Amino acid sequence: MEYFKKLLELLKIEREEDLRSYQQLTESSSVASRRANGLSWYPIAIRGSEMSRGDYLTVEIERTTHQELAHQLRFGASAVLFSNHDPKDRVEGTITHQSGNRLKITLKTDELPDWTRDGKLGIDVLFDNNSYDEMQNALKQASTALEKSEGNRLIKILTGQTSPTFSNEIPHYTIPKLNRVQQQAVDKILAAQELAIVHGPPGTGKTTTLVQAIKALIKQDHQQILVVAPSNTAVDLLTEKLDEEGLNVLRIGNPARVSERLQSLTLDGKLSEHDSMKQIRALKKQANEYKNMAHKYKRNFGRAEKEQRKALFDEAHKLMKEVGNTEQYMIDDLLSKAQVVTATLVGANHYTIRGVKFHTVVIDEAGQALEPACWIPILKAQKVIFAGDHCQLSPTIKSNEAAKAGLSTTLLEKATQIHPEAVTLLEEQYRMNEAIMSYSSKVFYEHKLKAHDSVAKHVLFSEDAPLAFVDTAGCGFEEKYEGTSSTNPEEAAFLFKHLTQLVNTAGHHYTADNFPTIAVISPYKQQVLLMKELILHSPELMAYAAKISVNTIDSFQGQERDIVYISMTRSNNEGSIGFLSDIRRMNVAMTRARKKLVVIGDSATLSRLPFYSDFISYAEEINAYQSAWEFADL
């Protein structure tokens, strides 16, 4: 099938590019540089170990220094325990839990090698072949299913070969907390036989709608539902909301946010509370004792000791087999009781639910989901619900070639275009003043987005304007290059002077406790680092440090603040704007603000792109345009 053949080719290109950049970071690099790039924990200490499934060994590790460094050691990642004494001393495994500075790794061995006693130990994350393998297998399976004569109706619909159907006879559940369009979205989800799409622009209550729809589906079908999203953070949010609604939720995988609440909803958390857990602990303890006794026969022993050692190992293995069977019984029991199972897209093929089919699969944040990853859960379903916004951030793709050839187009976007009858656009937003919202509504949502009365006119204080574009053209604020990222030190300094003035004025209207929240964002990492430095040297702003976040646009997707400042950074004679031309990213940036949005940039550079020249015209129309020259005395 041509459709899947093309996707497989694009996935191959992406995998090769990803591997190439991983090798670039790791080849001939010292442990210090791997650590700086987030690929290593070093040094580490072993805090404990126990036997686990399949006679493997699970080891608990703690990183003892450099704890502030960001890292990529995540649940499910392949990793290797190594000794820095000798490159040959290494044993591979899978990270089965990670929280703070501790993690558990299940090693492909049944005992710790001798070299682990000599110190200088570390953990390297390995290239993520597993996710690519899962995606590749899903595409191949989907292609095969489509070629069969009877075919799979859902796959045919998603590849545009046939249309989705809707039932006329469904019970109507009136949900008081939803507005008219949100209620329509739930009704469409209930009526859909194969496909429904909730298009949720910023601030429109997509998550609220989705949670109510899942509740209604369970009431209607009495069937278990699989709920997935591309990131652990998005899965965590839904897991908590569904739990708050009183549903029995089982979270497969390791949450990113480690709250007690979430831990108790995970498989590990529920297993530890299970009635059979006492029996498991006793069996594991006995198995570990047998193994420890066997280890005493390690050196200089004769035949009798050898046989004794083997007998002890056999006994330990027998007990671990019993542990495995009991664990499987417990997992089946917990699964059968769960109304909702939540996981990431790739986590939908976790060993606990690998062979399980679901009537309905819900994919949230589908606008950020790589299409090949979506097919993993879709193959388990008869009906799929997409929720997201393809006018915001698209998936992260390493290969420009694959992105341009179509990998950056999500299944949500394709399905929305092919089957508009399946889509409900949530039109009422509860976040932004209407002046902040209007430009985005015009460009991305055909003027359909409306501000709810509770937010339409809200401002910081009565004489304040909700929107400002401050034009730095002609000020000589020149951008500079640092590595692959741009910075603009003068623009950053100006932004903080402007923000300091606003904070001082707002101080007359608010107390320290109810002071507005502030985000200072830029598309460029180097500019963000520079602005983080500047804020540390500003005593006036440091007084409000708890209220101010400085970060990239991408890290604010899904979040909101009372005040948002955007540093556009680019300013040059060539009119070169680089990836500012990704207007979806700017849609995210411009729609984070509740009461005030301040965009600072060089109109001469920005105006080369119609999106920005039109935005500047819009600012002029509503008297929101200012020149940086007006603030010359700042």
Provide DSSP, 417-477. Answer: HH-GGGEEE--EESSS-HHHHHHHHHHHSTT--EE-HHHHT--SSTT--SEEEEE-TTS--
The pLDDT, as a whole number, for residue 441 is 97
The pLDDT, as a whole number, for residue 310 is 83
Interval 558-574 mean pLDDT: 92
Residue 26 pLDDT exceeds 60? yes
The pLDDT, as a whole number, for residue 372 is 98
Beta bridge partners of 198: 387, 424
The pLDDT, as a whole number, for residue 540 is 87
pLDDT band at 208 (very low <50, low <70, confident <90, very high): very high
Task: Give the integer Cα–Cα distance in Å for 4 and 372.
Answer: 9
Tell me if 51 sits within 8 A of 284, measured CB to CB: yes
The pLDDT, as a whole number, for residue 300 is 56
The pLDDT, as a whole number, for residue 599 is 98
Average pLDDT, the chain: 91
The pLDDT, as a whole number, for residue 287 is 84
Interval 73-99 mean pLDDT: 89
Interval 581-607 mean pLDDT: 95
DSSP letter string over 42-84?
-SEEEEEEEE-GGG-EEEEEEE-S-TTS-----TT-EEEEEES
Residue 579 pLDDT exceeds 90? no
* SS3 (DSSP) at 383: strand
Task: Give the integer Cα–Cα distance in Å for 338 and 359.
Answer: 14
578: left (phi over 0), alpha (psi -120 to 50) or beta: left
Question: Taking the C-alpha atoms of 443, 446, 448 and 449 in order, what is their torsion angle to the nearest 10 degrees?
Answer: -20
Task: Give the integer Cα–Cα distance in Å for 477 and 567.
Answer: 12
The pLDDT, as a whole number, for residue 256 is 75
Report pLDDT digits (tens) over 337-357.
999 999 999 999 998 999 999
Pairing outcome for strands 548-552 and 57-63: unpaired
**Lowest mean pLDDT across 53-62, 64-73, 261-270:** 53-62
pLDDT: is 287 or 381 the higher one? Answer: 381
The pLDDT, as a whole number, for residue 28 is 66
Task: Give the integer Cα–Cα distance in Å for 224 and 214.
Answer: 10
* Of residues 621, 560, 628, the one with CA closest to residue 600: 628
- Report residue 100 as tokens: 């703070």
Residue 472, Cβ density class (10 Å: 0-12 exposed, 13-18 middle, ≥19 buried):
buried
Interval 157-171 mean pLDDT: 92
The pLDDT, as a whole number, for residue 209 is 97
Q: Give Rg (Cα) of the chain.
A: 27
pLDDT band at 333 (very low <50, low <70, confident <90, very high): very high
Residue 27 pLDDT exceeds 80? no
Residue 559 pLDDT exceeds 80? yes
Tell me if 534 sits within 8 A of 496, measured CB to CB: yes
| Phi–psi pair at 279, nearest 5 degrees | -60, -45
The pLDDT, as a whole number, for residue 150 is 62
Residue 110 pLDDT exceeds 90? no
Interval 12-36 mean pLDDT: 89
Distances (CA, A) of 252 to 59, 334, 508: 21, 11, 49
DSSP letter string over 469-514?
EEE-TTS----EEETTEEE-HHHHHHHHHHHHHHHHHHTTT--STT
pLDDT: is 13 or 294 the higher one? Answer: 13
The pLDDT, as a whole number, for residue 424 is 98
Tell me if 552 sits within 8 A of 528, measured CB to CB: yes
Look up residue 334 and give its amino acid.
L
Report pLDDT digits (tens) over 399-408.
999 999 999 9
Structure letter (DSSP) for residue 245: T
**Lowest mean pLDDT across 22-36, 161-175, 546-560:** 22-36
The pLDDT, as a whole number, for residue 285 is 86
| Phi–psi pair at 412, nearest 5 degrees | -60, -45
Tell me if 601 sits within 8 A of 627, measured CB to CB: no
Report pLDDT digits (tens) over 142-156.
999 988 856 689 999
pLDDT band at 43 (very low <50, low <70, confident <90, very high): very high
Percent of the chain scoring above 70 in pLDDT: 98
Helix axes 371-378, 129-147, angle to 10 degrees: 60
Tell me if 25 sits within 8 A of 34, measured CB to CB: yes
Report pLDDT digits (tens) over 247-258.
999 999 888 776
Task: Report the largest interatomic distance among the alpha carbons of the chain, rounded to a whole angstrom.
Answer: 93
Report pLDDT digits (tens) over 451-490.
999 999 999 999 899 999 999 998 989 899 877 788 999 9
Q: How many CA atoms are closer than 13 Å to the CA of 272, on its beta-carbon side?
A: 6
The pLDDT, as a whole number, for residue 258 is 67
The pLDDT, as a whole number, for residue 301 is 65
Q: Quick one: which H or E segment has residue 295?
A: helix 277-295
Task: Give the integer Cα–Cα distance in Å for 257 and 237.
Answer: 9
The pLDDT, as a whole number, for residue 299 is 57
